[in-house]
Amino acid sequence: MASEVEETLKRIQTHKGVIGIIIVNSEGIPIKTTLDNSTTVQYAGLITQLADKARSTVRDIDPTNDLTFLRIRSKKHEIMVAPDKEYLLIVIQNPSG
């Protein structure tokens, strides 16, 4: 089972433009990452905060609603965040290749 996870991670990682993947748990502790330590910790902390804020925003507007996907497009990168109750999957991509 773990090998499937590895397989999928490798596939995503080798996709055109993907810079890195980070999986964090709900506390923001990185569980798996393809980036270096310092960058991982930085992203983990910041993105967890942002995802939490986004989720609370969505739920404040409508309590029955919930956050399913978060995508941050910047000039240089695109950060995709797939949240869950327990974990967070963060993928950083350079969309222009």
Residues that bind another protein (CB under 8 A): 1-2, 4-5, 7-9, 11-12, 15, 18, 23, 25, 27-32, 37-39, 41-42, 45-46, 48-49, 52, 68-69, 71, 73, 80, 82, 84, 86-87, 89, 91, 93, 95-96
Task: Write out the H or E segment, with its range, that includes residue 22.
Answer: strand 18-25
Q: In the bound complex, what is the minimum distance in angstroms from residue 69's beta carbon to another protein?
A: 6
Q: In the bound complex, what is the minimum distance in angstroms from residue 54's beta carbon to another protein?
A: 13
Query: By CB neighbour count within 10 A (0-12 exposed, 13-18 middle, 19+ buried), where does 45 fall?
Result: middle
